[in-house]
Structure 1
Amino acid sequence: MEQIASEHLVTRLADWGVDTVFGIPGDGINGIMEGLRRHSDRVRFFLVHHEEAAAFMATAYAKATGKLGVCLATSGPGGIHLANGLYDAAMDHAPVLAITGMQETAVLGTGYQQEVHLDRLYADVSVYNQVVVNPEQLPTLVDLAIRTAYARRGVAHLSIPNDIQVASASATPYQHVAPVRAPKTAAVYLQPAARPRDEDLRAAADVINAGKAITILAGVGARGAGRLVEQLAETLDAPVIKTLNGKMVIPDDSPYTTGGLGLLGTGPSEDLVQDTDTLVMLGTNFPYTKHLPPAGKTKVVQIEIDPVRAGVRLPTDVPLIGDVATTLEALLPMLNGRVGHGRLGTYAAKMRDWREKLAALESAEREPIAPQYLARLLDDLATDDAVLTCDSGTIATWAARHWQIRGDREFYLSGNLATMAPGLPYAIAIQHAYPGRQVICYQGDGGFAMLMAEFHTAAQYELPIKVVINNNNSLGQILWEQMVLGYPEHGVRYANPQPAFAEWAHGCGGYGARIDRPGDLRDALRDALNHPGPALVDVAVDPNEPPMPGKVSYEQAKKFSQSFLRGQPSKTAIATTLFKDRIQQLRAD
């Protein structure tokens, strides 16, 4: 049987170590599907229900493994559906390759059915973006696409017309110069040098050594360097703030950390920012600048692998371009140790008080079920190597504060895009990558409803993911955002009947339970976590529980009050919940 061009694509992916392609077939990629069929022993096609989920799965696979994630969609609408997940990959710097179909080259430009020029659509989201017009291009373009995705930590895209997909692999339809040939050796990506220059390290050390009140801000770029981050904190008497994406850099119970920053962060972190004259940023491009120290009043040293991102958020005195771990190993011997642990001790005490306040809200006595209680139970019952995938919205607040990183635990969500719906596809991809680990999707009802068909995908592939739905029957984050703007809520609560998510889980062949009483919750979660296949627990939580920021500003409180005065329809229920929260915290005091 003659080799077709799509086999060039698939075999070259396999040479790069790609073992899975997430996607949905379509008439715009039938040739590629045939290439995958012929080489199914090397690359597995992972069938999903929606292309958006395929892109999320590729993104999660890349985030969790560090390897390239690959997704496949047909021409036109299939490729359009990939876009949200691809932006998630781009904004969180995950290496992903998107492969899409295209109409036959002879009809391009004629307004043919589903003729969408996806290379133009993806121009903003991609770091490499090519339409294949000659079968002999494929091995070389695959190499370049993958190398660029790794090097620039982003999305590469190849669009392959139908006639090119099924053409002879050696076809060369036109007279042309000799093509660039892909190397015969095993495909490999060479990591760039990761150590800053000596003069830059010395300049950074001078700035840090002159600091009196030093704070460390650690992001996901510091992942894997936790021991060195804690050593830096110990040396400098410098507490560590963690970004949400960087939650797993060091454990949440570490004596060196004050937790997160911003709306989902902690009160001690907000205090710490105001008590800082020198900020050391490790592998983060934290976007919420209003929560950072005032520009110009704080000295800044930033370790960043991408020189383009260095100094983007704050004026940076010394940018260190390199890998966090390698850079810290070179920098630490140049730093002066501090006598005593005054700042670390002060903020460790603040964190003890903060944790006591959080614990007071995790009460099993409250009905409706407090979302904090659900998050705490999940944290208590999960294994020490569990992976939690999370969605955007109030669910992210509960996860940030009540899901504790300890042991080998990990935590993934859509960081900078903050899109809804990736929690379930993320869990599926990570469970596929790590079949022996406990993988939990912790999601709101709004996000789950968007891509709930993928629970059937988990059942189809016998992936034992656990889905826990924090069901407030509303778009909870938007509700509170409306109120903080001073407006009564509008259009954010869903009417009855509520979707029967547990029945959907049963219909897919999995475990399903609906819980609306706090006394039933622990056993239901335990049963789900022990179930050998995919399981879902739909938990009716208090819809009026506010995700309060670490520090409530005067302006936020004023706007919140104005929403009541202007006719907030649920003001009685919200006021009752706030009163219960305060009573619980007073009991803890």
Structure 2
Amino acid sequence: MQEIVGESLARRLVEWGVDTVFGLPGDGINGLMEGFRRHRDKLRFVLVHHEEAAAFMATGYAKATGRLGVCAATSGPGAIHLLNGLYDAKLDHVPVLAITGMQETSVLGSHYQQEVHTTHLYQDVAAYNLMVTNPQQMPAVVDLAIRNALGKRTVAHLTFPNDLQVAPIGEDPYRHVSPGTPPKSAANMAYPRLSPDPEEIARAAEVLRQGSRIAMLVGVGARGAREEVLAVAEALASPIVKTLPGKQVVPDDHPLTTGGLGLLGTRPSEELMEECDTLLMVGTSYPYGKYLPSPGQARVVQIDVDPSLIGMRLPVTAGVCSDARLALRHLLSLVDRRTDRSFLEKYQRKMGEWRADMASLRDPRRHPIAPQYLMGCIDEAAADDAILTCDSGTIATWSARHWTIRGDREYYLSGNLATMAPGLPYAIAIQHAYPNRQVIAFVGDGGFAMLMAEFLTAVRNELPIKVVVNNNNAYGQILWEQIILGYPEYAVRHLRPEADFGAWARACGAYGVKVTDPKDLPGAIAEALAHPGPALVDCDVNADEPPMPGKVRYEQAKHFTEAFLRGQPRKVATLASVARDKINELRS
């Protein structure tokens, strides 16, 4: 059988170590699907219900494995649907290859059905972005696309006109030859390990030696460097602050960490940023400048594998372009262990108080169920190597503060894009990658409803994911943003009837339960986690529970009060929740 372009694509993906493609077929990629079919023994195609989910799955797969994620969609609307998930990959710096279809070359420019020029559409999201127009471009352009995605940790895109997909790979209408550059092994899938420049690392060590109140801010770029991060922090007597995507870098119960930063972070971390005179940033270009030290307050050392990110947020005294693990190892050999531990011990005491405050909010007596208690039940019951995926919204606050990284636990969400709906697709993709690990999607009712058909994907693929829906029947984060900005709430709560996603799960042939009584919650979570197949717990939680910042600022409190004085429709219930939380904190 003569090899066609679609088959050449599939074969080259396999040679690069790709084993999974997430997507949805259509007549715009039938030739590519034929290529995937011919290599189905080595290349698994995961059929989804919506192309947006396919892109999220590819992104989640790349985040969890460090390997290339691949998604495919048909021409026109299918390609358009991929974009939200692809922007998630771009903004969180993970390698994803998007493959789309295009109308036949003979009709391009004739306003043909579904003629959407995806190379124009993807111009902003993809670092490598090409429409293949000659079979002889294969497989070189596949190599270039993958190398760009991996080397730049971003999105690459290839689109194939219908007639090109089924053209024999040997055809050469233009008599041009583009030789391929085949990968030597699957090791090429790994990110490059850049060693630090000796002068840069020496300068960084000198800045750190001069500091007296040192703080570390670590991000997902330090993933895989846990031992080195802890060793440097111990030597410098420095508390460790973690970005949300970098939550898994250091265990949450470790005495050196003060947890997260920002609206979803902790009070000790925010106070630490206000007091430190030296900041060591590792693997992060944390975007929320108002939570970082004031200009001129602290000298900054920044370590990042991407030189374009160094100095993006704060003026940097010493920048080190390097892999985090290698840079920290070199740094450790150049700094001495500090004998004065008073600054660190001060924040360890503050963190002890914060942990007690957070524990007090996981109150099993509260009704409606406190979302903190829901997350606490998951945290207590989950395995020490469990992987939690999360959507954006108030649920990110509950998971950031009440999902404890310990052992080999991991945590994934949409970091910089902060989009709704990736939690479920992430879980499906990660369960594919790690079939023997416990994968839990912690999602809101709003985000789950957007792509809930993908729960059927999990059932049909016999993936034992666990889904827990934090159901407040509202877009909770938007509600609180309205209040903080000083607006009365508007159009953020759903009308009755309230959803029963447990019934949906059972209709799909999976375990499903609805929980409204806090006494039933621990048992329902335990049963779902023990169930051998897909399982879903739909938990009704207090819709008026505010995701309060770690440290409430004057302007936030002022706007909150003004909004209530203008007539918040549920101000009694909300104030009751706030008061109850404060009483519980004081009791602890």
Could you tell me the TM-score, scaled by structure 2's length? 0.99
- Quick one: distance in 1 between partners of 2:584 and 2:302? 41
- Quick one: distance in 2 between partners of 1:192 and 1:434? 24
| Correspondences of 1:532-551 after superposition (within 5 Å) | 532-551=532-551
What is the letter of the counterpart of residue 314 of structure 1? L
User: 1:181 and 2:180 equivalent?
Assistant: yes
What is the letter of the counterpart of residue 160 of structure 1? F
- Quick one: distance in 2 between partners of 1:77 and 1:206? 55
Q: Which moved more, 1:409-418 or 1:229-238?
A: 229-238
Q: Which residue of 2 aligns with 1:495?
A: 495
3-state DSSP class of the match of 1:308?
helix
Q: Which moved more, 1:379-388 or 1:569-578?
A: 569-578
- Quick one: distance in 2 between partners of 1:302 and 1:181? 38
Name the CA shift for 1:580/1:385 in 2 (closer, same or farther; >3 Å): same
1:306 positional shift: 0.4
| Correspondences of 1:108-257 after superposition (within 5 Å) | 108-176=108-176, 178-183=177-182, 185-186=184-185, 189=188, 191-192=191-192, 194-257=194-257
Q: Which moved more, 1:131-140 or 1:381-390?
A: 131-140
Note the aligned Cα RMSD (angstroms).
1.1
Q: Which residue of 2 aligns with 1:6?
A: 6
- Quick one: distance in 2 between partners of 1:56 and 1:484? 30
| Correspondences of 1:22-101 after superposition (within 5 Å) | 22-101=22-101
Contact 1:261 1:270 in 2 (8 A): yes
- Post-superposition Cα deviations, 1:387-416, rounded to whole Å, max 9, x if no partner, equal 000000000000000000000000000000
Count of paired positions: 587
Q: Which residue of 2 aligns with 1:345?
A: 345
Name the CA shift for 1:113/1:19 in 2 (closer, same or farther; >3 Å): same
Name the CA shift for 1:364/1:183 in 2 (closer, same or farther; >3 Å): closer
| Correspondences of 1:244-393 after superposition (within 5 Å) | 244-393=244-393
1:180 positional shift: 2.8
- Post-superposition Cα deviations, 1:181-236, rounded to whole Å, max 9, x if no partner, equal 33485576375451111111111111111111100000001111111111111111
Contact 2:26 2:73 in 1 (8 A): yes
1:341 positional shift: 1.6
1:337 positional shift: 2.2
1:488 positional shift: 0.7
- Post-superposition Cα deviations, 1:18-39, rounded to whole Å, max 9, x if no partner, equal 0000000000000000111111
- Quick one: distance in 2 between partners of 1:339 and 1:349? 18
3-state DSSP class of the match of 1:545?
coil
Name the CA shift for 1:555/1:188 in 2 (closer, same or farther; >3 Å): same
Contact 2:143 2:182 in 1 (8 A): no
- Post-superposition Cα deviations, 1:118-142, rounded to whole Å, max 9, x if no partner, equal 1111110111111100112121011
- Quick one: distance in 2 between partners of 1:184 and 1:545? 52
3-state DSSP class of the match of 1:326?
helix
Contact 1:391 1:421 in 2 (8 A): yes
Q: Which residue of 2 aligns with 1:394?
A: 394
Name the CA shift for 1:376/1:78 in 2 (closer, same or farther; >3 Å): same
Contact 1:388 1:442 in 2 (8 A): yes
- Post-superposition Cα deviations, 1:270-293, rounded to whole Å, max 9, x if no partner, equal 110111111000000100000000
What is the letter of the counterpart of residue 82 of structure 2? L
1:4 positional shift: 1.0
- Quick one: distance in 1 between partners of 2:173 and 2:231? 61
Contact 1:88 1:416 in 2 (8 A): yes
Contact 2:5 2:166 in 1 (8 A): yes
Q: Which moved more, 1:460-469 or 1:342-351?
A: 342-351
Contact 2:138 2:178 in 1 (8 A): no
Unmatched 5+ stretches in structure 2: none
What is the letter of the counterpart of residue 468 of structure 2? V
- Quick one: distance in 2 between partners of 1:221 and 1:576? 41
- Quick one: distance in 1 between partners of 2:413 and 2:420? 10
Q: Which residue of 2 aligns with 1:521?
A: 521
Name the CA shift for 1:292/1:184 in 2 (closer, same or farther; >3 Å): closer
What is the letter of the counterpart of residue 61 of structure 1? Y
- Quick one: distance in 2 between partners of 1:65 and 1:86? 17
Contact 1:143 1:187 in 2 (8 A): no
Unmatched 5+ stretches in structure 1: none
1:500 positional shift: 2.3
- Quick one: distance in 2 between partners of 1:197 and 1:24? 46
Q: Which moved more, 1:33-42 or 1:414-423?
A: 33-42
User: 1:426 and 2:426 equivalent?
Assistant: yes
Contact 2:16 2:183 in 1 (8 A): no
3-state DSSP class of the match of 1:311?
coil
Contact 2:511 2:531 in 1 (8 A): yes
Contact 1:123 1:129 in 2 (8 A): yes
- Quick one: distance in 1 between partners of 2:182 and 2:223? 33
- Quick one: distance in 2 between partners of 1:586 and 1:2? 75
- Quick one: distance in 1 between partners of 2:150 and 2:178? 24
1:577 positional shift: 1.1
3-state DSSP class of the match of 2:442?
strand
What is the letter of the counterpart of residue 487 of structure 1? Y
Name the CA shift for 1:393/1:505 in 2 (closer, same or farther; >3 Å): same
- Quick one: distance in 2 between partners of 1:584 and 1:342? 30
- Post-superposition Cα deviations, 1:232-286, rounded to whole Å, max 9, x if no partner, equal 1111111000000000001001100000000000000111011111100000010
What is the letter of the counterpart of residue 331 of structure 2? L
